[in-house]
Amino acid sequence: MFEQTFVEGKTKKTYTVMIAFLIQCGLVVVGLILPLIFFTDLPKTTLQAFLVAPPPPPPPPPPPPAAAPVKIVKVIPRQFDAGRLMAPKSVPKEIAQIKEDELPPAAASGGVVGGVPGGVAGGTPGGVLGGIIGSVPTAAPPPPPPPPAPKAVTPKRITIGGNVQAAKLIRQPRPVYPPLAKQARISGTVRLAAIISKDGTIQDLKVISGHPLLIPSALEAVKQWVYQPTLLNGEPVEVSTQIDVNFTLSQ
């Protein structure tokens, strides 16, 4: 009886151990091996969050601007209003005392203490430097002579009327009456503009008016005329004038 009981109990114990072993193997497979085979991908957003560095922190805000310094204007109370003394509105805490410096003692001689370089013994303050001993003032120097008057500039050429200049003629050859003009009974006046040089000779001649038959004879005669030199401020000058040459049939 004991042997049968022992054998039956042994059989049931081996069967129970096998079942427990299988259950444990199944649990190991489910807990360890299946997750290695059937895995799932990590979310892409989560993966990037792990791989990408975090953004830098924002810069700190700028400091606030410094407050403008407050300028304190000190108002000095007026003591006079339209010439009248006004009472102060507030009594000052401290009263300033003005102390005047004492003047140096005056020298016995009346001069400057220590003397003045170049001064004279016994002189007076504010005296004339270089004066005679005893502070006697010297006579004022004579005024400088006035500058010489500028010398008048003599013009090189002056204009004189024909009648005035004709009085200075020294040599005056008469013009020859052209025969053709005499036969044609032509007469008249030939007017010339002349420049007389400093020595009195004719320098330049220009025709102003006149008959063409009379002009050549007038020019030929006037070129030989000679005048007295015209003086201005003691110096000879050129003269611009007009010369009239008359042709009449009575010649």
pLDDT tens-digit readout, 165-190: 778 888 888 888 988 988 888 889 99
**Predicted pLDDT at 59:** 86
Q: Which pair of structure tokens corresponds to residue 90?
A: 């507030």
**Contact, 237 vs 177, CB < 8 A?**
no
Better-scored residue on pLDDT, 224 or 149? 224
Structure tokens at 139: 């006579």
Tens of pLDDT, residues 82-111:
666 666 677 767 776 767 667 666 554 455
Confidence of residue 39 (pLDDT cuts 50, 70, 90): low
pTM of the model: 0.39
Q: What percent of the chain has pLDDT over 70?
A: 61
CA dihedral 167, 170, 171, 172 (to 10 degrees): 10
What residue has token string 């009886």? 1
8 A C-beta contact, residue 188 and residue 211: yes
pLDDT at 67 over 80: no
